[in-house]
Amino acid sequence: MLKENIRRIARELHEEAVANRRHLHANPELSFKEYNTSAFVAKKLTESGIPFEKKADTGIVALLKGTKSDSDQVIALRADIDALPITEANDVAYKSQNPGVMHACGHDMHTSSLLATVSILNQLKSEFSGTIKFIFQPGEEKIPGGASLMIKDGALENPHPTHIIGQHVMPELPFGKIGFCEGPYMASSDELYITVKGRGGHGAIPHLNIDPVSITCQLIVALQQIVSRQANPIIPSVLSFGRLIADGATNVIPDKVEIEGTFRTFDNEWREEAHKRMKKMVSSLVEGMGGECDFEIRRGYPVLINEERLTKEVRYYAEDFLGKENVINIDPCMPAEDFAFYSQQIPACFYRIGTGDEANGITSGLHTPTFNIDEKSLETGPGLMAYLAVKSLGN
């Protein structure tokens, strides 16, 4: 009966969940600036009579206690609320009204889904024991990561959950499918900022200059040796540079070149070692070619680890709710997620929910201006998470 009750309420709430998602999609806010989004979440929780606290400025932590029997068991469910600096290209009624900002990573779905999960569980609180902590978290898209700030502000305390569960949209998966990966799932992520300084001048007399463009070209190629020749081949590692500014001209060598990139891996020890090797290589190569440099590594998110026992358990419940044919294995991936900070503190399970719909042209990837979701997932997502929560509490 629990399963059927959850499914019924999820169906009844679907229209409201879609409306909430469309409101959030039309009014996106960047990381750590989610004031209206936070106020919207607080309003919905207040209307449902759910107590909550503000954390890390724009974050919210709500609590719901089951009344079936006394239990000190506590679990946490998490959604992120921030958007990206992308100009939306979709022609939809709920298109972003905030120029240059878009929910292109599905956080609008995550937030509306968790709000619907709160409503489902609130209606069924007499059918479970224990406490569920709902974390609406800011700043997933920007270092230092809202998860780290929420943890520092006590989001995992008073009460302390035994484990945490999170979901994330996956447009590559069709609606109705769920993906799990046990163990290390998403890579650590660090940002690299390098300024190569030389001595600019006329491009026709390079011998009188110190060319930072030439030095930078050598440097980018050389740094790839960190991954291709110095990393253990069995440890996934990625080093990419996506921004290079050399503000000269056809006949002008600039004084400096700025480059920005990312380093990702699945091994914390190698992460630290790679940082040391990159700093040494950058310094020696640039100075050896007559230049100077500044090199900053901004530490990002750690490796996201899906605790194996918990993930097996959650997967079992997902198969029970959706059917085994709709629950699949997915591979580890190099993108990063600040949910990893929670996974470093307590057992965690972070799974993917299918939101693609090829027949209706909903196929664009995350972080693209045409990203969208199959909104039928706003029935599956809340219902599944509600079921996982109740079963994880031992009910």
311 band by pLDDT with thresholds 50, 70 and 90: very high
Under 8 Å between Cβ of 163 and 348: yes
Q: Structurally, what CATH architecture does the domain formed by 2-185+303-392 represent?
A: 3-Layer(aba) Sandwich (3.40)
pLDDT, mean of residues 144-171: 98
The three-state (H, E, C) secondary structure of 239-288, written as one string:
EEEEEEECCCECCEECCEEEEEEEEEECCHHHHHHHHHHHHHHHHHHHHH
Under 8 Å between Cβ of 263 and 192: yes
Rounded CA-CA distance 383/374 in Å is 16
Q: List the one residue out of 109, 133, 128, 107 whose CA is nearest residue 51.
A: 133
Rounded CA-CA distance 113/106 in Å is 11
Under 8 Å between Cβ of 106 and 169: yes
State the CATH class of domain 188-301. Answer: alpha beta
Using a pLDDT cut of 90, give the percent of the chain over it: 99
pLDDT greater than 90 at residue 208: yes
pLDDT greater than 90 at residue 99: yes
**Model pLDDT for residues 368-392, shown as the tens digit of each residue:** 999 999 999 999 999 999 999 999 9
Under 8 Å between Cβ of 373 and 51: no
Whole-structure pTM value: 0.94
pLDDT greater than 90 at residue 133: yes
Rounded CA-CA distance 14/11 in Å is 5
pLDDT greater than 90 at residue 395: no
**Sheet hosting strand 178-180, strand order edge to edge:** 52-55, 59-65, 131-137, 74-80, 163-174, 348-356, 178-180, 327-329
Rounded CA-CA distance 391/395 in Å is 5
Q: Which two tokens stand for residue 73?
A: 């068991």
Domain map of the chain by residue range?
Answer: 2-185+303-392, 188-301
**Model pLDDT for residues 55-92, shown as the tens digit of each residue:** 999 999 999 999 999 999 999 999 999 999 999 999 99
Cβ neighbours of 331 (radius 10 Å): 7
The pLDDT assigned to 156 comes to: 98
Rounded CA-CA distance 79/10 in Å is 18
Rounded CA-CA distance 347/153 in Å is 19
pLDDT, mean of residues 187-192: 98
> Annotated active-site positions, please?
82, 140
- Residue reference for tokens 């305390």: 157
**Model pLDDT for residues 329-362, shown as the tens digit of each residue:** 999 999 999 999 999 999 999 999 999 999 999 9
Alpha helices in 185-244 (DSSP H): 212-225
